[in-house]
Amino acid sequence: MCLTGRTGDGTLFWAYALTGRSTASQARILVESSNGDVEVRDARGGVAPDALRHYVALARRADWLVVGNGDHVVPLCDSLARGVSIGDASAVPTFEPDPPIYTPRIWLAVRTGSDVTSLGWVRRAADGHGHRGIVAVEEFEPGFGVLLTTYDGSATEVRTSAVPTEISVAAWDIGALEQELWGALPADLRIARLVTSLRETRLLTGT
């Protein structure tokens, strides 16, 4: 899931939460690399990377920040940093090739100094084609957020979802937001989360 909004103290934030149903999906951690990207890696070591489970979840290029749930994050951020429009850059990602679910790709993007955050998604329609969308959220008020998720339903009855939802943010600051985000995730599915602002990035795996 991707989330953007403002905490009660007015801090603009962008967040990502990592969840998983299978043993392999549960065995993942968030790691900050030397270039500032945040990677989703296997926590067990010695396991060959799986592009559907292991990817860059946060990328920074030039003055762009992109957060998302797959290997589309880096190409999208690279394109934006080269001056490609959001509309053109987001036309490239497709949904995951993981039948029968076909997990949607989701992302959010923001440019340094801008109060506008774009949220985008592509999901598989009933006819097998990709249906995609972008929304731009402007001028967040404190306590307001917009959430974009890949799934709804339950761990046993999975339904894909990629529609932005307006939510209330109770947390006063980034530290409290970490706990609010963690508490909102199903206890049997949650793995890790990251929260970033213009000042800092926080990564937490487990409690």
C-beta neighbour count of 133 within 10 angstroms: 13
pLDDT at 101: 85
pLDDT at 143: 96
Is 146 strand, coil or helix? strand
Torsion sign over Cα 188, 147, 140, 92: positive
Least confident of 28-32, 34-38, 162-166: 162-166
Determine the average pLDDT of the residues in 144-149: 93
Tens digits of residue pLDDT in 151-175: 765 555 555 666 789 999 999 999 9
Determine the average pLDDT of the residues in 176-190: 90
Determine the average pLDDT of the residues in 29-34: 91
Least confident of 9-23, 136-150, 154-168: 154-168
Q: The pTM is what?
A: 0.91
Percent of residues, the chain, with pLDDT higher than 70: 92
User: Does the pLDDT of residue 69 top 90, yes or no?
Assistant: yes
Across the beta sheet with 144-148, the strand order is: 165-168, 144-148, 2-6, 12-19, 190-197, 201-205
Rounded Cα gap, residues 184 and 29, in angstroms: 19
- 110 vs 130 pLDDT, higher one: 110
Q: Would you call 140 exposed, middle or buried from its count of C-beta atoms within 10 A (0-12, 13-18, 19+)? A: buried
Whole-number average pLDDT of the chain: 88
Determine the average pLDDT of the residues in 68-73: 94
